Amino acid sequence: MNINVPKSYRAEKLKITNTKLVILSIKIFKIMKSRNLILIVIVGLILLLGGCGCSQYNSMVSQDENVKAKWANVQSDYQRRADLIPNLVNTVKGAANFEQETLTRVIEARAKATQTTINPGDLTAENLQRFQQAQGELSGALSRLLVTVERYPELKANQNFLNLQAQLEGTENRIKVSRNDFNTAVQEYNQTVRRFPNVIFAGILGFSVRQPFQADPGAQTAPSVNFNTDSAR
């Protein structure tokens, strides 16, 4: 049995079906557009963070290398001082009745100081303190030696000794400058790795805070030197 459906009904049904398809298409388009927007945002963030990370990484590498270079200068100046000491000791030995104990302390302190070195990549607080302590002991031994020399007029008139003394004084000044330069480099580096957002990249990439030189114990107090040879003996 055939049922004739009016054309107007079929047209109306077709119209409704087309409308549903259009609405469905619009919904699908909105979903796809939303997903694409999220994807674009994610990719943009990755590119932004990646570019920022590369820039900050390069900056931290440059400053880290600068710290290492300044540390190399510090060790070089300390080594220069150590190289002068054997000639100084040999010159002082020529003085009659010079205190052997004073010379022995200088020699032992020099041996300890030259054995205490730090790789630029291992500048931890503990290592730097150990290095500074060894160099401080040598500085103290040298100071006692130079004070003791005041008791020996022949040494104070010895041109070779005077030249060595002048070189030591110049080296001490160079050490002070190189230490200050190292501390400045460390300060700049630490400021960089501790700033936000650098601190995030620094932790991930292994850039840790560096330890600067600290003032030697008692450095704030002026040393008391007595040149009275009678009372000194």
Predicted structure pTM score: 0.69
Contacts for 52-56 with beta carbons within 8 Å, 24 or more apart? 52/197, 53/201, 56/192, 56/197, 56/198, 56/201
pLDDT at 222: 37
Structure token digits, residue 220: 């704030």
Q: What is the pLDDT of residue 232?
A: 38
Please state the φ and ψ torsions of residue 14, each to the nearest 5 degrees: -65, -40
Q: Which residues of the chain have pLDDT under 70?
A: 1-53, 96, 216-233
Extract the tokens encoding 78.
């300390």
CB atoms < 10 A from the CB of 26, how many? 10
Widest pairwise Cα distance in the chain = 144
